[in-house]
Each structure stands twice: as C-alpha cells, then as structure tokens.
Structure 1
Amino acid sequence: MKILAIGAHFDDVELGCGGALAAHAARGDEVYVFVATVSGFTNQYDQSVRSSDVARAEAEEAMKVLGVKQMFCGDFKTLEVEFVDSLNIQILRLVEQLAIEQVYAHWTGDIHHDHQAVARASLHSCRHVPRLLMYRSNWYHSTLDFRGNFYVDITDHWDAKEQAIRAHQSEMERTGAKWISFFRNEAENAGQRIGVRYAEVYEVVKWLQS
C-alpha cells in the first residue's frame, strides 16, 4: 500500500501519526511525507527560534527513524500558508504520481492557521483517495470537537515515534520535552480505550474497505 502523510511543518506528522507511519513501514508499505512549509520561524519579538535548515535536517533524521521512503517539501513560509491552488496542485500531483491509496492529514478543526489551510487543501486534493484520516498534532483547544473514531495500535512503534519526535532537538529545547509527556499520555489514554498499551486515534473522513 502507498501511504501519504501531509503536514504543515517539519514535526507535525511525527507528532500526529508517527506511530502509524512506523507501523506501515514495518509492514512493507511505501510511506511518503509532504511538508508544506520551510518551517523556520521567529517569535513575537522577531527572534529566530528555529532556522529552516535546522528544521529540515531534523525532519530528515526523523523520517529515517520512521522508515519513510521519501519526504517532499513545499516552500511556503511558516504562518503564511493559505488554501490556494498552488498548494492544492502540489498535493494533487503527489497523490497522482505516487498512486497514493491512503492519506493522513491535519484535522480541519485545528486552531493553527497553517494546519487549517493544509487540512482543507488535503481534503480537496485527496478527494479521489479511498482512505483519509485526520490527526491532531498539538495540544490547543478548539471550538470544534475532534471526533476520534479510528484507532491504530502503535504499541510496538511508540519507541520509533518518540525517537522521531526527539530528532527535533531545537523544538525539544524550546518546549522542555513537554511534547513527549503529552503525546505519550495521549497514546496511553487512546490505548486504554481499546485494550492496548499505546494507540493513535484519528477522525475518519472516508474509508473504503475492499
């Protein structure tokens, strides 16, 4: 099976669906990732927090950990992604050229500006892909409810997910490694609901069972 995970920034797919991607790779599926932005950004005081070069280097290391076959990168600036045709075309071309059969995309209810735009573009450009799941990749509240109704057992792949997240050393330093504790707790809670140690939960957009 050919899998495409779509994220706005380097680190989004690791946080949102890293365990599932590692599981796919372990089963022999072809796993691809598309990241829309260069992912460098500055804070509210115009101080550089992470350079684009560092972000990409960290992501490339994370992709190796997860077993991703190839990562494709867009050139949008962080916090400047819009639901525009240039983004749609980039995703649609990958879907068609790689003959993608299943997609992991941002949740459309995410409050992050870039995440919302990429989510909308994913739904638009992947409209002919038979399987599409939405993931969460941050811990912020939304006015919408994430309807998690599809679970993936990542018990055997949590270590790979954590290692991939830790590959983003610049973000680990910025957040004090809070990502690890938060997403481990999320995975434990999801796993408890379905009787496994660790799981990822998704909202189904569509799922064709053959």
Structure 2
Amino acid sequence: MNVLAIGAHFDDVELGCGGALAKHVAKGDDVTVYVATQSGFANHRNLEVRSSNVAQAEGEAAMKALGIQHLICGKFRTLEIEFTDTLNIEILRIIEDRKIELVYTHWIGDIHHDHQAVGRASLHSSRHVPRLLMYRSNWYHSPMEFNGNYYVDITDSWPKKRDAIMAHASEMNRTGHKWISFFENEAENAGQRIGCRYAEVFQVLKWIE
C-alpha cells in the first residue's frame, strides 16, 4: 500500500500517527511524509524558539526513528500557511506521483491555524484517494468534537513513536517533556478501549475497499 502522512510542521505526524506509520513500514508499505512548512518559529516577543534548520534536522532524525525513507519538505512559512491552490496543488502532485492509496492528515477541527489549513487542503486534494484518516497532534480544546472511530494497535511500534517524538529535542526542552507523558497517556487510553496496551485513534473521513 502507498501511504501518505501530511503534517503542517515537523513533529505533527510523529505525534498524530507515528505509531501507525511505523506499523505500515514494518508491514512493507511504501510510506511518504509531507511536511508543508519549514517549521522554524518565533514566540510572541519575536524571539526565535526553533530555527528551520534545527526543525528539519530533528524531523529527519524522527523519520529515521520511524523507518521512513520518503520525506518531502514544503517551503511554506510557519503560521502563514493558507488553504490556497498553491498548497492544494503541491499535495495533489504528491498523491498522483506516488499513487497514494491512504492519507493521514490533520483533523480540520484543530484550533491551530496551520493545522486547519493543511487539513482542509488535504481533504480537497485527496478527493480521489480511497482512504482518508484525520489525526490530532496537540492537546488544546476545540469547539468541534473529534469523533475518533478508527483504532490502530501500536503496542509494538510505540517505542519507535516515542523515539521519534524525543528526536525533537528543541520542542522537548520547550514543553518540559510533557509531550511524552501526554501522548503516552492518550495511547494508553485508546488502547484500553480496544483491549491492547497502546493505540492511536483517528477520525475516518472515508474508507473505500
């Protein structure tokens, strides 16, 4: 199967679907990750938090941890990405060139501006892809409800997901390692619902056999 995971920033797919991606790799599926932005950003006082070079280096290390060989990096600027044809066309070209059969992307109810734009563009550009799953990659509340209804047992691939998250040292330092505890708890809770140790949960937009 040809799989595409789409994220606005380096770290999004690792947090949202890293376990499922590692599982695809283990099964022999061809997995591509597309990251739309250069992923460097500054805080509200215009102090650099993460440079684009650091973000890419950490992202490449995270892909290595997951076993993913195909990483495509976009050139959009963090916090400035919009739902436009430029983004739509970039995603559509990847889908067509790599004959994608399954897409993982941002949940469109996410409150992060970039996540919403990339999620909407993914839905638009994946019109002819038979399977589309949406993931969450942060811990903030939204006025919309995430209707998680598709579970993937990631018990065996959780260590690789954890290593991929840990590869983002700049973000781990910023969050005080809260990412690991939060997303491990999320995986444990999802696993409890389906009778395994760790799981990821997605919202199905479509699934055609």
Q: Could you state the TM-score of these two structures normalised by the residue count of structure 2?
A: 0.99
- Unaligned runs of at least 5 residues, structure 1: none
After TM superposition, give the deviation of residue 208 of structure 1 in Å: 1.1
The one-letter amino acid of 2:174's match is R
C-alpha offsets along residues 112-138 of structure 1, whole Å, 9 cap, x if unaligned? 000000000000001100000000000
1:150 paired with 2:147, answer no
C-alpha offsets along residues 158-188 of structure 1, whole Å, 9 cap, x if unaligned? 0000000000000000000100000000000
The one-letter amino acid of 2:76's match is F
Separation in 1 of the partners of 2:197 and 2:113? 33
Q: Which residue of 2 aligns with 1:22?
A: 22
1:165 paired with 2:165, answer yes
Identity across aligned pairs (percent)?
70
The one-letter amino acid of 1:198's match is Y
The one-letter amino acid of 2:30's match is E
What secondary structure, in the 3-state scheme, does the structure 2 residue paired with 1:95 have?
helix
Q: Which residue of 2 aligns with 1:85?
A: 85
After TM superposition, give the deviation of residue 69 of structure 1 in Å: 2.1
What secondary structure, in the 3-state scheme, does the structure 2 residue paired with 1:156 have?
coil
C-alpha offsets along residues 1-44 of structure 1, whole Å, 9 cap, x if unaligned? 11000000000000000000000000000110000000000001
Q: Which residue of 2 aligns with 1:206?
A: 206
Separation in 1 of the partners of 2:143 and 2:114? 17
Q: Which residue of 2 aligns with 1:188?
A: 188
After TM superposition, give the deviation of residue 145 of structure 1 in Å: 0.2
Q: How does 1:123-134 map to 2 (within 5 A)?
A: 123-134=123-134
Q: Which residue of 2 aligns with 1:106?
A: 106
Q: Which residue of 1 aligns with 2:75?
A: 75
- Unaligned runs of at least 5 residues, structure 2: none
Separation in 1 of the partners of 2:208 and 2:162? 30
The one-letter amino acid of 1:146's match is F
Separation in 2 of the partners of 1:106 and 1:69? 21
Any conservation in 2 of the 1:5–1:33 contact (CA below 8 Å)?
Answer: yes
RMSD in angstroms over aligned alpha carbons?
0.4
Separation in 2 of the partners of 1:67 and 1:185? 24
Any conservation in 2 of the 1:92–1:125 contact (CA below 8 Å)?
Answer: yes
What secondary structure, in the 3-state scheme, does the structure 2 residue paired with 1:120 have?
helix
Q: Which residue of 2 aligns with 1:63?
A: 63
The one-letter amino acid of 1:81's match is I
1:135 paired with 2:135, answer yes
Any conservation in 2 of the 1:31–1:67 contact (CA below 8 Å)?
Answer: no
Deviates more, 1:8-17 or 1:60-69: 60-69
C-alpha offsets along residues 82-103 of structure 1, whole Å, 9 cap, x if unaligned? 0000000000000000000000
Q: How many positions carry a matched residue from both structures?
A: 209
What secondary structure, in the 3-state scheme, does the structure 2 residue paired with 1:140 have?
coil
Separation in 1 of the partners of 2:81 and 2:102? 23
